[in-house]
Amino acid sequence: MQKVEYKINLFEATSIEELDNEDINLVEKSQKVLKNAYAPYSKFRVGAAILLDNGKIITGTNQENSAYPSGLCAERVAMFYANSQYPNVPVKTIAITAFFNNDYIAKPAPPCGSCRQVLLETETRFKKPIKMILFGKEKIQIIEGIHQLLPLNFTDDFLK
């Protein structure tokens, strides 16, 4: 038996000014849209902003439901909407910010497993790595490619 190691690469910044203007703008969009979250149960508001290859920006927020599992995370709301409106346009970048207890969270919150799977589908579909920016007040993380968050992944390859 052989031990196999998977490595992921990411970049970390401590201030938003370390990002380029395009990324700063996208993070700010994810922060601005937070007010539209519907999170009466968890009070955890999440905003996602997606930059498409054609320059359009699509935003989404988490939408909860009294039947808890029927709600949806901000990332999937935004990604499904982007793919619905622009089915042939690849995604360049997604920025995510969460807000809790009257402030942006200190450490960035990475997307849940289901969102990773959905984001990976878009990355695979357009054969183009999606940059992910996770905003936290103390730390900003940048990951080049969703596949890094799901090293052992299920894709359409298995269905061919």
Contact footprint for ligand THU (CB under 6 A): 39, 42, 44, 46, 62, 64, 71, 73-75, 109, 111-112, 115
Q: Is 75 a known active-site residue?
A: yes
Least Cβ distance, residue 60 to ligand THU (angstroms): 9
Q: Is 156 exposed, middle or buried (0-12, 13-18, 19+ CB in 10 A)?
A: exposed
Which residue's CB is nearer to ligand THU, number 54 or number 113?
Answer: 113
Residue 32 phi/psi, 5° resolution?
-65, -35
Least Cβ distance, residue 105 to ligand THU (angstroms): 11
Closest Cα to residue 119, out of 68, 60, 159? 60
Concatenating the DSSP letter of every residue in 89-147 gives --EEEEEEEEEETTEE-SS--PPPHHHHHHHHHHHHHTT-PPEEEEE-SS-EEEEE-GG
Least Cβ distance, residue 157 to ligand THU (angstroms): 26
Active-site residue identified among 75, 121, 138, 144: 75
Which residue's CB is nearer to ligand THU, number 109 or number 150?
Answer: 109
Give the chain's length.
Answer: 160
Which residue's CB is nearer to ligand THU, number 8 or number 112?
Answer: 112
Give the catalytic positions in this structure. 75
